Amino acid sequence: MKKNDITALHNKTIVELEKQLKDLLVELAQARMKKAAGKLKNTHTALLSDDVARVKTVLSMKKKAEKAE
C-alpha cells in the first residue's frame, strides 16, 4: 500500500473500510493457499498482512472516534 492509499483510508467510511477489510482477508486466504501449493512467494502474503493491519487500525480509530461523539 502506498502513502496515498494510506491517506485515502482515513477518508473512507466505516462501512467502506469493513468491506475493504473483508476483501483483503479473502485475498490473503487465497494467497496463503497458493503459497502452500508453492505457486507464490512469501512477500505477497506479508504485504497483504500489512495492508490488513493498516485497515484494522484505521477502522478501530474511526470506531473509537464515533463512540466518543
Q: Is residue 55 within 8 Å of residue 9, measured between CB atoms?
A: yes
**Cβ atoms within 10 Å, residue 16:** 12
pLDDT at 3: 67
**Overall average pLDDT of the 14-32 stretch:** 95
Could you tell me the pTM of the whole model? 0.84
Q: Torsions phi, psi of 46, nearest 5? A: -65, -40
**Is the pLDDT score of 16 beyond 70?**
yes
The CATH label, of 1.10.287.310, 3.20.20.70, 3.40.50.20, 3.60.20.10, for the domain at 3-64 is: 1.10.287.310
pLDDT level of residue 49 (50, 70, 90 thresholds): very high
| Better pLDDT: 45 or 56 | 56
**Is the pLDDT score of 58 beyond 70?**
yes
| C-alpha torsion sign, points 32, 34, 1, 8 | negative
